[in-house]
Every structure is written in structure tokens, then in C-alpha cells.
Amino acid sequence: MQSLGLVRSVGLRRWSLTLTRGFDHLERKRLQKGYFFELNEMRDTGGKVFPCSTSLISPEEAADFPRNTQAHQINATASSPSSKGLVDIADVFTGRGASVVGLYFRENAKQNVLSWTEGYENSTKGEARAQVVELCCVESLLFRAGPLKSLIQRGLAQDMAKREKERGVEILCLAAFGNLREFQRLLDISNRLTSYCFLVDSAGRVRWRGSGAATEGEIANLRQAAAALVAGG
């Protein structure tokens, strides 16, 4: 009887491994934590799905920002004057010293992204500062093609133009459409309902990160980390 139980246990483990091999990291989390784990995690953490970095991650330990993910450049800035065609997101950071990247998947997370991007800009007025980027990620099949895709791009462009005029922001806006699961996995993003902030160095490495809505202390922390990279740290 014991041997039969052992065989059943091993068989179940093998079946479980076989079942999960065909799923990406988000589907595995759904299997492990339940289909609504993103909503539950938002409720439990308030959007702070991982702790904000307290200092720069060393170059040796830092992960690369994912390459080979394309995005539409929505607006033109002094550092990126062209706003036509697709760009590899990682190329936007090359040679920039440092880039503060606010990233979101859902429209209701955008306000929290602004707490990072505009919060950083407002705290560094008159100073040498990092490039600031906002990345809107769209995975839905309904919205990533045809007229709705154009509508999203136009809405982002109009919103950015309004912010540039009224608040004087200098933020590069990008929009990525498509299956972004591998992109999320490489950035350790498993909850698409919250917002994220990454500090990327000139070599394309993620040296600092935060999630949810930024606090004053986190903006001060980000400002200090970015200043070190801008100064060549």
C-alpha cells in the first residue's frame, strides 16, 4: 500500500510538471495562487508588489532591460527628436547616462506612473537629470490592431501634448503592442494591474526599481540613485 501511494504521488508530481511546462510565468502563478491573484495581490499590497530599491543595484547583479521589444514613439523630445516608426525600447537608453522608466499595462495605473515620472521631474528642476520615459503596454487583441490601436496612440499623443503645454514636462512616451509575456518575465513583472518604475543605465541595465504609487521618500531615493548614474556612477 505504501509503494502504491508513492507511485501515485510521483505520478501526480510528474503530471503537474507536464501541465505547467506549457504555461508562461503568469499562467503558472494563476495555477499556484488562483486566477484572480493579480486583484488579490493589489488588495493585499496596495500596488507595492515588490519593495522599492534602497540603493543602486550593482552592474554585476543588474538584469538587462529586455531587448527586441518594439514600441511606437508617440512624441518627440530634445533627446529623441524623431517620433516616426518603431524603436527597440532598449535602444532608447543607450548612451543616455540614465533613464527613469515608468511602465503600465492598464489605464487605471497611469496616474501612479505619473507619480514616478512627473514626481522625479519636479524634484530635479534646474538640475542635470536622467531621461524620463513612459511606456504604455497593450496586450489585448482587441486594442493592439486596427482603428483601436490608432485611437490609443492618438489619445496618448494628445495627453502628452497637453501635459507638455500645461506642466512643461519633458517625457518621452512609448507604446508597445503585442504579446509581451517574455518582456514581463525578464522584468519580473507578474501583476499587470499596478505601475512600475525602473532606473536604467546607459548600458541598458536595470539598476533600481519600484512599484505602485511613489512616496516622497521613494522619489528622493530615485533622485539620488539617478544622480549617481548621471554623474557616471
Domain 46-230 falls in which CATH fold? Glutaredoxin (3.40.30)
pLDDT at 85: 75
Q: Any idea where the domains of the chain sit in the sequence? A: 2-35, 46-230
Query: Which residues in the chain land under pLDDT 70?
Result: 1-35, 78-84, 233
Q: According to the model, what pLDDT value does residue 90 have?
A: 94
- State residue 126's pLDDT score: 83
**Contact yes or no for 96/202 (Cβ under 8 A):** yes
The per-residue pLDDT for 31 is 58
Residues 12-56 pLDDT 10s: 344 344 444 445 666 666 656 666 888 999 999 999 999 999 999
Distances (CA, A) of 185 to 47, 82, 102, 190: 18, 30, 17, 7
Task: Provide DSSP, 118-129.
Answer: HHHHHHTTTS--
Q: What is the pLDDT of residue 32?
A: 65
Element containing residue 88 per DSSP (H, E): strand 86-88
Predicted pLDDT at 23: 55
> 136: closest CA among 147, 120, 149?
149
- pLDDT of res. 21: 47
